[in-house]
């Protein structure tokens, strides 16, 4: 099973692709899609949708997973995140790819063993679970963590 993990964001969307064979996980690819803060919103969203569509075409995942939405204290930030998620989910939907959502706590627990893990702990476990994988940055790391969590939880779907 090939899993695409997504960490949608308007400033920089992370993506990660892994393969699960039995109980073994292996890294395929990961990356980040930054958008320019001075660009028009419609162009930024189109860029996200296009980039995720290209990742799907290139790696042909069987399933996608993303972290559930959390609500920021700033309504504008929440709205911008929702726009970015919409573009990313639309790219998946257009490709016929269902997106499963997992809470941040579930992702951390699946990867590290505790739902209260911090980013450093998650990134350290990625090095253990995907040895030698070059990770494009923190957003890509988050996306790989989502993919790993889904791979661990997939038998429940």
The single residue of 39, 54, 67, 118 carrying the catalytic annotation is 67
**157: pLDDT strictly greater than 70:** no
Over residues 55-70, the pLDDT tens digits come to 999 999 999 999 887 6
Residue with tokens 């959502």: 101
CATH class for the domain made up of 2-156: alpha beta
Reply yes or no on whether 139 is catalytic: yes
Return the biggest CA–CA distance within the chain: 45
Q: Are the beta carbons of 66 and 5 closer than 8 angstroms?
A: yes
pTM: 0.93
Reply yes or no on whether 62 is catalytic: no
- Angle (CA) 27-31-33 rounded to 5° is 155
Among 3, 45, 50, 47, smallest CA distance to 24 is for 3
Reply yes or no on whether 118 is catalytic: no
The single residue of 39, 54, 139, 142 carrying the catalytic annotation is 139
Domain limits of the chain? 2-156
């Amino acid at each position: 099973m090939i899993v695409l993990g997504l960490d949608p964001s308007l400033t920089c969307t992370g993506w990660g692709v892994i393969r699960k064979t039995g109980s073994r996980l292996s890294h395929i690819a990961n990356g980040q899609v930054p958008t320019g803060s001075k660009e028009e919103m419609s162009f930024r969203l189109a860029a996200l949708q296009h980039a995720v569509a290209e990742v799907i075409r290139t790696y042909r995942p069987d399933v996608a997973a993303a972290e559930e939405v959390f609500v920021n204290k700033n309504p504008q930030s929440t709205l911008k995140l929702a726009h970015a998620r919409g573009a990313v989910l639309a790219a998946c939907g257009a490709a016929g790819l269902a997106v499963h959502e997992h809470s941040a706590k579930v992702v951390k627990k699946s990867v590290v063993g505790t739902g209260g893990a911090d980013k450093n702990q998650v990134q350290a476990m990625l090095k253990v679970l995907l040895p030698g994988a070059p990770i494009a940055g923190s957003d890509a790391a988050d996306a790989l963590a989502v993919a790993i969590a889904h791979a661990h939880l997939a038998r429940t779907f």
